[in-house]
Amino acid sequence: MHRVLAETYPDAHCELDFANPFELLVVTVLSAQTTDKRVNAVRPALFAAYPDARAMAEADRATLEGIVGPLGFFRAKTESLLKLSAALVEEHDGEVPARLDALVRLPGVGRKTANVVLGNAFDVPGITVDTHFGRLARRFGWTDETDPVKVEHAVGALFPRKDWAMLSHRLIWHGRRRCHAQRPACGACPVARWCPAFGEGPTDPAEAATLVRTEGRR
């Protein structure tokens, strides 16, 4: 299944724009409960004003709220960014640590965010269990677990460590484009022959094709 998904999505990658580990950490935190497209839209103004952790830690709250406002929950997200940046300055001299244990101790950073940063900014293998990944792992019969950490460990045991980051991208792309939570495009799915959940969505190829998205959606 993974080999076919790799052929289906040869360009799979993190859909958040970033130029360095700090930017990736910040945009990943901001991506909660909004779309990558919206986060990418505010990114240029955000990092033009606050290019590093020191600058963001000293940001004027109202100004920062104005920049992240289009993302929703702007007060909570502003608070998260201020605390996160301050912790980076105080504990890591303004640099993003390249270790899971250090990342998850930062304010607002869980294992999912940490694995996104490790895999995409530092090339450290990790499995990113977002809602798409967890849903597909269960649909594919790879695990029955619902807790994201247990899903991460269960799926990690099935695949070589070197494949973890790209496996995450491919499952997330498949979940955003074909294997939707509601009405998955079963009849247009490249791994349908191995999927125990085949039939949860339309199996007619023509009908299923209308459900396929060319761009991802959270």
- Which residues 6+ apart lie within 8 Å of 59 measured at CB? 49, 50, 81, 82, 85
What stretch(es) of the chain map to CATH 1.10.1670.10? 127-209
| Average of per-residue pLDDT values in the chain | 96
162 as an active site residue: the answer is no
- pLDDT band at 191; cut points 50, 70, 90: very high
130 as an active site residue: the answer is yes
Task: Round to whole Å and give the CA distance between 144 and 110.
Answer: 22
Task: Round to whole Å and give the CA distance between 17 and 99.
Answer: 22
For residue 108, what are the CA distances in angstroms to 37, 54, 167?
A: 21, 17, 25
Q: Is domain 21-121 classified as CATH 1.10.340.30?
A: yes
Catalytic residue selected from 17, 36, 83, 112: 112
State what percent of residues in the chain have pLDDT above 90. Answer: 96
What pTM did the predictor assign?
Answer: 0.91
- Mean pLDDT for 35-47 is 96
Q: Is domain 127-209 classified as CATH 1.10.10.60?
A: no
Catalytic residue selected from 37, 83, 93, 130: 130
Task: Round to whole Å and give the CA distance between 175 and 9.
Answer: 12
What stretch(es) of the chain map to CATH 1.10.340.30? 21-121
Task: Round to whole Å and give the CA distance between 174 and 213.
Answer: 10
Task: Round to whole Å and give the CA distance between 67 and 45.
Answer: 7
Query: What's the pLDDT score for residue 214?
Result: 82
Q: For residue 218, is pLDDT > 50?
A: no
Task: Round to whole Å and give the CA distance between 127 and 163.
Answer: 9
